Amino acid sequence: MTVLVTGASGFIGRHVVAELLRKSIKVRVACRQGGKRKFPVDVDVRYLSGPGTAAIDWSDAVADCDVVIHLAARTHVSRDRDRDPSRAFRLANVDFARGCGEAASRAGVRRFIFISSVGVHGGTSGEQPVNVGSPIKPHTEYASSKAEAERVLTNLVFGSSTKLTVIRPPLVYGLGASGNFGMLVRALECGIPLPFGLLTSNRRSFVAVENLASLIVTCVNHPAAVNQTFLVSDGEDLSTVELLRRLGTAMSRSVRLFPVPVGWLALGSRLLGKDDMFQSLCGSLQVDVSKTRTLLSWQPIVSVDEGLRRSVERRL
């Protein structure tokens, strides 16, 4: 069996490649021409060529592959300098996925695993946890592009021999994570006081990158993963305060929190154009992973505390 991984040099991709190799599965990675990322010696590297994102030639990368894991994406950008962010997200997350999916379908790849985002369901979960049947209501351009890519791929493989599996993770943390998690780690390293002291009742689902990689690799062979969509988490939901305190314990650092009313945080975030950051740090977003656990007989391989410890072990 040969598995092609796109986005293999990224934060999640590196862990997926390592997990596949650990399972003795033959790994191929697709990189743009000029990429300098080094991979293990037993990884087959194929270089993509073409005049643009939508016109990239995937034929060599997908040839004789059994499974494609599509991780390549433009993720959240804290300071977006692109003149048209919506178009940039669409090119990277929709057109790139379409090109890869079309080539995979033509080549007879039997399974296409697409890593989407729980953000396709919106930024908050309300009173009930999000499940795979919850309404699709993306709240950011990134989430909108992921929702569109899901629709495109579903239509593309319909009636073909290629079967689609979609995974929608919440915030993914681990060693090397950027975004909001990386920002919190850096703040604790520097001893910066944080204004989240009152955020004790919100609840958010997270997933350690090791757990996400484990689920992705489970879907490579599992017969029940065909034509299914899955949510994933560590199985333990945390408030912002609890996350910070447990992260501080993992780092052996004291956590300095001061109380700022949530309404003030929301107003400040809005004025600064950081509504997305406010939602991801202060709101509640719980996911129901019962389908994933039951249908795939899957369990997280690391606990929250172990995942947090691994996230910072080389920074100490």
Residues labelled catalytic: 142
Distances (CA, A) of 46 to 30, 39, 65: 5, 12, 12
Residues 76 and 11: beta-carbon distance below 8 Å? no
Instruction: State phi, psi for 203 to the nearest 5 degrees.
Output: -135, 130
What span, in angstroms and rounded, lies between the C-alpha atoms of 129 and 7? 29
Q: Which residues of 110-133 are buried (b: 16+ CB within 10 A; e: fewer)?
A: ebbbbbbbbbbbbbbbeeebbebe
